[in-house]
Amino acid sequence: MTVSIAMAGKGGTGKTSVACLIIRYLVRHGGAPVLAVDADPAANLGLGLGLEVGKTVGQVLAGFNENKLLIPPGLSKEASLSIRLNETIVESRCVDLITMGRGEGAGCYCFPNNVLKNFIDQLLPNYSHLVMDNEAGLEHLSRGTTECVDELILMSNHSIKGIRTVGTIISLVDELKLNVKRKWVILNQCPAVVDPLVAAEIDRLGIGVDAAIPEDRMVVEFDWHRRSLLEMPDDSPAVAAVNGLMRKIGSNRFTGEKA
């Protein structure tokens, strides 16, 4: 069974960066092949993974809706849409990437969305892990795109707003009865000592923090130089923290290592 991991949290808290470092861990510890899905309309997971994104799923679906998709004779609409969706997959050695992009163009998306769902369902068995980077906010939760998740990674930074958003997401997951197996709370860009005001908010909301990732200049520099975070060295503090989290999450699932 493919293990699905999804990111959630306030804007700018490190969802995309940590998704890349999670994929980095999986690739190096027996968790590949990985299917990475960029479900953020402001797509930038490809950049973090060093992969060039071509057409997005949104563009293909819009083309389909506007009848711009050439349907070869003898092929059903569904089959030709699947072929085009297949072309959105960016392949690399251990990680393949699908970029959802924006929902472009008017019209009803029920049919193409169903084809998309079937398309992803058919792809999944080819992968050990699905890692989904989501947009900030809660829409993806209420839309149900984060419905069947094994590990939900709730990102916050060292801020009250970040923590409160995590609290809201936890309540929403419960309210909507989403099929989320486990939730993990991460404090990113966390100082060595958590500020008492932030700690008090964490306590007030009854949130357990599972990992703290320190501010790591290398993450910033990799971004500036558009380098793939998959190439981050083992001695980076952010890498060490994410690896620690993944050992906790995976226990001996990926490597035979004990957590």
CA 38 centroid distance within chain: 6
Residue 53 beta carbon to ligand ATP: minimum distance, rounded to whole angstroms = 15
Task: Specify the residue for token string 């008090």.
Answer: 200
188: contact with Mg ion by CB under 5 A: no
Q: Which is nearer to ligand ATP, 18 or 85 (CB)?
A: 18
Q: Residues interacting with ligand ATP, by CB under 6 A? A: 11-17, 40, 136, 188-189, 213, 215-216, 219-220, 223, 238
On the question of a cis peptide bond just before residue 33, with omega within 30 degrees of 0, the verdict is yes
Region class of 92: left (phi > 0), else alpha (psi between -120 and 50), else beta? beta
CA 235 to CA 239: how far, in whole Å?
Answer: 7
Contact window for Mg ion (CB under 5 A) among 7-15, 105-113, 163-171, 196-204? 7-15
Interacting partner of 245 out of ligand ATP, Mg ion, none (Cβ under 5 to 8 A depending on kind): none
Q: Which is nearer to ligand ATP, 16 or 146 (CB)?
A: 16
Residue 21 beta carbon to Mg ion: minimum distance, rounded to whole angstroms = 13
Residue 16 beta carbon to Mg ion: minimum distance, rounded to whole angstroms = 3
Beta strands 90-91 and 95-99 are antiparallel
4: contact with Mg ion by CB under 5 A: no
Q: Which is nearer to ligand ATP, 85 or 100 (CB)?
A: 100
Binding mask 8-37 for Mg ion (x = CB under 5 A): -------xx---------------------
Q: How far apart are the first and last CA of the chain?
A: 21
Interacting partner of 17 out of ligand ATP, Mg ion, none (Cβ under 5 to 8 A depending on kind): ligand ATP
Beta strands 148-157 and 3-9 are parallel
- The residues near 127 (Cβ < 8 Å, ≥ 6 apart) are 2, 33, 34, 35, 96
Q: Which is nearer to ligand ATP, 26 or 39 (CB)?
A: 39
Residue 75 token pair: 């092929």
